[in-house]
């Protein structure tokens, strides 16, 4: 399948491991110039080096927190300075803590809003003017199945990620005329470090072993297994490609049939 992504410039946020990293590799494999970020510099630089040597891709890597508006602005400016523009922006960040409502704190609510919602606002705000100049762009937010179906004890995610969907739909409506397509991808249970962290927390609160927790999650899907980061990445790369040129304002779940609704 010809994706038409050769020489496109892709930002993939929060990409030193997990879904972000797999997505960065997916764009590198398609011949894109790549800009990646995460907070821990050493791990990020190691991933950048690996992607350069494996795919021959040009990779820019900068360590910062996506909840820092100024850092996002500086990063996008550096990407444009180095590559001459930006075509694709995948917003992503670490997930919020797993908690029921009465265990939440105001500080954590504010942090969840900053990390899992405002970061998408910051990136969109910076990249859209560059995409408008080219009359072509793709913004893809990585959120969660919680945008369609709340998950027990993930109240921060259940609440805050809904705002991202509202943002995605609004941007899709406002900037479709400029050739900018905006979509949201919602992972189900995907085998990454984040899921191990959730299993640990669920195990501590339920008394079940982590293995039982993983088995239960897999059993809850139609496909009876967890997802792989590459399966998320393939969907994101496809949404950015010319093969998905009439899709905008949508949430695509990559969840193995975990979502129970029609
Ligand atoms: N895995 C799942 O089953 C699943 C299911 C539903 C939704 N999701 C959501 O999908 C997203 C990606 O999940 P994942 O499983 O790939 O997570 P992960 O394995 O924990 O990886 C998170 C990545 O984001 C970076 N990161 C975290 N916070 C950041 C910040 N504030 N600024 C910059 N970089 C940051 C991390 O590096 P540093 O620590 O160095 O910053 C790391 O590279 C998360 O929002 C997660 O909640 C995941």
Return the pLDDT at 205.
87
User: Closest residue (by CA) to atom 39 of ligand 1?
Assistant: 39
Q: What are 153-210's pLDDT values in tens digits?
A: 999 999 999 999 999 999 999 999 999 999 999 999 999 999 999 999 899 989 999 9
Return the pLDDT at 16.
98
Return the pLDDT at 93.
98
User: Closest residue (by CA) to atom 41 of ligand 1?
Assistant: 39
User: Closest residue (by CA) to atom 37 of ligand 1?
Assistant: 38
User: Closest residue (by CA) to atom 23 of ligand 1?
Assistant: 14
What per-residue string of b and e applies to 166-177 under the rule 16 or more CB within 10 Å gives b?
ebbbebbeebee
Q: How far apart are CA 225 and CA 215, in angstroms?
A: 8
The whole-number average pLDDT for the span 51-70 is 98
Residue 15 above 90 pLDDT? yes
Residue 1 above 90 pLDDT? no
Mutate to test the pocket of ligand 1, among 12, 18, 210 (most ligand atoms within 8 A of CB): 18
Closest by CA position to 6, among listed 26, 31, 28, 34: 31
Mutate to test the pocket of ligand 1, among 92, 94, 201 (most ligand atoms within 8 A of CB): 94
Q: What percent of the chain has pLDDT over 90?
A: 97
For residue 13, give both structure tokens: 């946020």
Q: How far apart are CA 120 and CA 114, in angstroms?
A: 9
* Pocket-forming residues, ligand 1, beta carbon under 6 Å: 14-20, 37-40, 43, 65-67, 92-95, 115, 142, 144-145, 187, 189-190, 192-195
Give the Å distances, CA to CA, from 4 to 27, 75, 239: 11, 25, 12
The mean predicted confidence, pLDDT, of the chain is 97
How far away, in angstroms, is 37 Cα from ligand 1 center? 11
**Ligand 1 atom nearest residue 190's Cα:** 3
Return the pLDDT at 102.
97
How far away, in angstroms, is 178 Cα from ligand 1 center? 30
Residue 137 above 90 pLDDT? yes
Give the Å distances, CA to CA, from 194 to 17, 20, 94: 10, 12, 8
Q: Which domains does the chain have, with CATH numbers?
A: 9-188+228-251 (3.40.50.720), 189-226 (no CATH)
């Amino acid at each position: 399948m010809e994706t038409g992504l050769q020489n496109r410039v892709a930002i993939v946020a929060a990409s030193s491991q997990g879904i972000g990293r797999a997505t960065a590799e997916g764009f590198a494999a398609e011949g894109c110039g790549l800009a990646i970020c995460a907070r821990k510099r050493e791990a990020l630089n190691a991933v950048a080096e690996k992607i350069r040597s494996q795919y021959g891709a040009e990779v820019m890597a900068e360590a910062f927190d996506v909840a820092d508006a100024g850092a996002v602005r500086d990063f996008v400016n550096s990407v444009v300075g180095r590559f001459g523009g930006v075509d694709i922006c995948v917003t992503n960040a670490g997930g919020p803590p797993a908690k029921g409502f009465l265990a939440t704190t105001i500080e954590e609510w504010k942090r969840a809003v900053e990390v899992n919602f405002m970061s998408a606002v910051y990136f969109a705000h910076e990249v859209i003017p560059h995409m408008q100049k080219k009359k072509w762009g793709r913004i893809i937010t990585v959120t969660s199945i919680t945008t369609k179906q709340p998950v027990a004890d993930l109240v921060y995610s259940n609440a805050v990620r809904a705002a991202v969907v509202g943002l995605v739909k609004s941007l899709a409506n406002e900037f479709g005329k400029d050739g900018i397509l905006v979509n949201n991808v919602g992972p189900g249970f995907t085998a990454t470090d984040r899921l191990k962290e959730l299993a640990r927390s669920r195990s501590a609160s339920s008394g079940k072993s982590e293995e039982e927790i993983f088995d239960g999650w897999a059993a809850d899907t139609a496909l009876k297994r967890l997802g792989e980061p590459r399966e998320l990445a393939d969907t994101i790369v496809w949404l950015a490609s010319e093969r998905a040129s009439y899709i905008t304002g949508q949430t695509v779940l990559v969840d193995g049939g975990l979502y129970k609704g029609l």
